[in-house]
Structure 1
Amino acid sequence: MVRSSTAFITVMLKYIRSTVSCGKLSREKASFYLKEILHSIFFLGYINRPRFYPEDVLSEENALNLRETFPDMFQTYMTHLPSRPPYSALLDVVVETTGTSDSAADQDEYEVLDKLLDLNKEMYVPQHQNTSMASENAFCLASAVVSYCFFLDFLTGQKTKKYFGAPIACKGKAQREIFIDLSCIKTWNRNVALSVCLMASGYPPILLPQFVHSAAFRILSSREEKQASAIPCISEKQQSCGQRFEGNASSGFSCQRSTSDTVEHMSSQAPNRELSFR
């Protein structure tokens, strides 16, 4: 957990600073995302067993700079709950700073996925210096699945912007349950939160309306190859709303057919049938 947290913070700081330098993200928003992500990671360390602290996952230079810039952040993680997992906040940064389209509705999801795949590679924590074998906590803060959805107006043909989301990405049953509860209260659409609660109690899932289009992608990382690609999944599965995804996207997936670094895709377009997750 410590090594994964250190890798996540290092990659996150580098990426956010680069987006500010090239003018894609304002300094105000960068500060907001930095505080949110670091608060979430520090909180996870504080409730972890064994417990670890910010100084355990920050370099000496980063710890000094961040303490000067955000002194309260090194106290509030012990007294205040975070809003969401760190990867979900990083996903928002990537969505906001990726793409060249002027219209949010025309944003290319594969540009977002390619960037996330690159970041996941950088967060990879090898078990030993001379091997590419992953350690047990290699991706405990990074998500291997990303989903998105949008809403289509059948009369005008217009669609909304794409809403991206990811599963709850953190290690530990208690940690995941805390973030699921927080997401139900603070983040998810009320109907999605209700469906998650119902499915957790054994009730059947709710059905997505016909105007909801959704898709999910499994981001796979190979131990040997370092090439990224996007492979559509031919088969479609029925989907329902109830999977525990962070963010506003609600979708399902079923693809595992590549050994290279891969973005695998399954989509569903407003079918007249029950939509089922797994």
Structure 2
Amino acid sequence: MGDAERTDDFLQDQHPFKTNAFKIILTMVDWCNKTPGSKHFVDEILHSIFFLGKINEVPFSPQEIIGNEEIVEALKMKYPRPFLFYESQLPKRSPFSCVLDMIVLQQRPENEDQIKRSLKELIEPLNPRFLVSSTICVSHTNTQNSVRYYGVSMSTTGLRPGRIVIAASCCSAWDDYVAGAVMTYYPVKRKKEYFDGTFNLPTFVKCEAFNLRKGDPIHPCKSCANLFGLETQETQVWPYGNCAEPESLSNLLKNEVDVKSQSRPTSNTFTPENRENAQQSLHKALEIELNNNPIIDWNGEFYNALA
């Protein structure tokens, strides 16, 4: 096989990023038209997809992703900021988290089965490698009529995009306990000696993950056991922060005061000074990732979607 053929095969291999992105964008725009109070989800997902398109192995511009000048201009009119800031500001989370929030808003949090079904229907025709989460996590207390809190796994492809968005989530999206737990190991799968922000969930909290396509329950991986004290026999260590559990538990801790108060990390190294050092270490690692990809000129800010 010659170099030209290999290049063609590689380009073809990356093409589903573009097709998935376009289908997800059109679906989110359609849902937004039917769902009051959801415009910021479209604004945010446009920015997140455009950013990931820019740093994809084969970069795609917003115009290449959308592929239709009329649609591009219509989106620019209604959502101008994602087009302006996708090269200079980082997304706070991966795109499929916006999809999840849209569906939870539509279906209401108590309708767990319908939320899972809607997500499955969306992703079934999509290529699973690009912009699609594989797992959903549902967390709640073991009390009657407890609120369900959802999260999905990182919908990024490749090591570098995953590291960038996990770091951004720690800085700007996740609850501080969840972020601290992830920072304990970030960016490598090795625990810091000077800081331990991991914690054990109270026994009255239920945290379950499910395969989005099949619906089967998934045991926590070893990483989530290390972060949150979840019981598991699994030995697989995924990148810390990549799973659906961090987002789900973050949403729970932000809203359940009793759970938050009983989840405080207990290590002697969990101090404000050590956390600040861990956060600085995360920022340095994030800057290294971005410097290795100079097509992003980060201005130090994380993107805030406007309603």
Q: TM-score, normalised by structure 1?
A: 0.67
2:138 match: secondary structure: strand
Q: Residue by residue, what CA displacement relative to the aligned partner does 1:62-89 show, whole Å, maximum 9, x if unpaired?
A: 2121122223321211121112111111
- Distance apart, 1:15 and its partner CA: 4.5
State the alpha-carbon separation in 2 of the partners of residues 77 and 189 from structure 1.
Answer: 24
1:45 maps to what in 2? Answer: 53
Is 1:8 aligned to residue 21 of structure 2? Answer: yes
State the alpha-carbon separation in 2 of the partners of residues 236 and 176 from structure 1.
Answer: 19
- Distance apart, 1:230 and its partner CA: 4.1
- Distance apart, 1:166 and its partner CA: 1.1
| Counterpart pick for 1:148 among 138, 146, 149 | 138
- Structure 1 window deviating more from structure 2 (75-84 vs 34-43): it is 75-84
Identity %: 25
Is 1:94 aligned to residue 97 of structure 2? Answer: no
| Counterpart pick for 1:35 among 27, 33, 43 | 43
**Structure having the larger proportion of residues in helix:** 2
Check 1:37–1:18 CA distance in 2 against 1; reply closer, same or farther (3 A cut). closer
Is 1:109 aligned to residue 112 of structure 2? Answer: yes
- Distance apart, 1:209 and its partner CA: 1.3
Check 1:98–1:199 CA distance in 2 against 1; reply closer, same or farther (3 A cut). same
State the alpha-carbon separation in 2 of the partners of residues 142 and 49 from structure 1.
Answer: 17
Gaps of 5+ in 1: 125-137, 221-228, 252-278
- Report the aligned-residue RMSD: 2.8
- Corresponding letter in the other structure for 2:141: F
**Structure having the larger proportion of residues in strand:** 1
- Corresponding letter in the other structure for 2:21: F
**Contact in 1 for aligned 2:129/2:157 (Cα 8 Å):** no
- Corresponding letter in the other structure for 2:138: Y
1:219 maps to what in 2? Answer: 212
Q: Residue by residue, what CA displacement relative to the aligned partner does 1:123-179 show, whole Å, maximum 9, x if unpaired?
A: 23xxxxxxxxxxxxx432101111010134xxxx44541110011111121111111
- Structure 1 window deviating more from structure 2 (111-120 vs 193-202): it is 193-202
State the alpha-carbon separation in 1 of the partners of residues 221 and 119 from structure 2.
Answer: 25
Is 1:202 aligned to residue 195 of structure 2? Answer: no
What is the total number of aligned residue pairs between the two structures?
214
Q: TM-score, normalised by structure 2?
A: 0.61
- Corresponding letter in the other structure for 2:17: S
Gaps of 5+ in 2: 1-13, 229-239, 251-307
Larger RCO of the pair (alpha carbons < 8 Å, separation 6+): 2
State the alpha-carbon separation in 1 of the partners of residues 156 and 135 from structure 2.
Answer: 13
1:185 maps to what in 2? Answer: 171
State the alpha-carbon separation in 2 of the partners of residues 13 and 177 from structure 1.
Answer: 27
2:125 maps to what in 1? Answer: 122
2:179 match: secondary structure: helix
2:46 match: secondary structure: helix
- Corresponding letter in the other structure for 2:191: G
2:62 maps to what in 1? Answer: 54
Check 1:232–1:186 CA distance in 2 against 1; reply closer, same or farther (3 A cut). closer
